Amino acid sequence: GDNASGRRRSGHGVRWHGLLRGRRIIEMPQIHPTALIDPRAELDSSVEVGPYAVIGPRVRIGAGTVVGAHCVIDGHTTLGRDNRIFPFASIGGAPQDKKYAGEPTRLSIGDGNTIREYVTINTGTVQDEGETRLGDDNWIMAYVHIAHDCRLGSHIILANAVQLAGHVHLGDWVFLGGLSGVHQFVRVGAHAMTAFQTRLAQDVPPFVTAGGNPAEAQSINAEGLRRRGFSAERITLIKQMYRLLYRKGLTLDAAREQIEALRGELADADADIALMQDFLATASRGIV
């Protein structure tokens, strides 16, 4: 079932190998015989596909990726290496947008992602860049929905039943608590976190923990930063930025001026200040 490029198109036969202690060894097929894979799909020869999975003609799947039973992968969808997709996920479906008229928009998923049961991820729309995009090493729990044109970085955790509307952007290392809902066009900065059942209708700056309905800033994500190797001094400076934003009664412009004045106090933290400043400069929906 392998073509000259080494990509498996189809072919579900069993091949017999040699003898071991007088017993035949069977190399079981990587693709279950009940899976429906369009012959135009491009799958690396190491991809595993479970029973009753359906893979469409414009799908490309990289080495080491495992597609579970009853999954549907469709659309102009590319998955990188070593992803694990659990049963009943729907990946690359058309966007839930009434303006969508069948344009060839895309979904791009990086490497090492875990996508659990009943997750739905849609392709993009031409009203944006035409692509929904996920980075690497993300942990997407059951029943999560990632709508059209979302942009997700890497090392993100989305707990059970998180719902992302269209055009949502999540930075690296974001954690969203279970049953959280995110309004369209909202951005969540790197290392930010939400509590259980949070409703987000405004942007969440980097490093901030937010919670509630509607969401309010509660603290910084100090425990997450410690787990990622941030020093106590860096965390202290990030707390200073948080206090300037939320505890000093300053306008946003005044807070940004004082945050800028922190540059140079700790060399390791200048990148953290730049991350915060760049985010605040483009917070078009306002911040929590």
Residues recognised as catalytic: 148-149, 166
Written as one letter, the residue type at 224 is G
Cα 58 from Cα 185, distance rounded (Å)? 28
Please classify residue 205 by burial: count the beta carbons closer than 10 Å to its beta carbon, then call 0-12 exposed, 13-18 middle and 19+ buried: buried
Sign of the C-alpha dihedral computed for residues 89, 95, 97 and 101 taken in this order: negative
d(CA 149, CA 169): 9
Pairing of strands 175-176, 157-158: parallel
Q: What angle do CA 55, 61, 64 make, to 5 degrees?
A: 120
CB 95 within 8 A of CB 166: yes
Which is it for strands 84-85 and 114-115: parallel, antiparallel or unpaired? parallel
Q: How far is CA 19 from CA 22, 23, 265, in A?
A: 6, 5, 69
Sign for the pseudo-dihedral over CA of 222, 226, 229, 232: positive
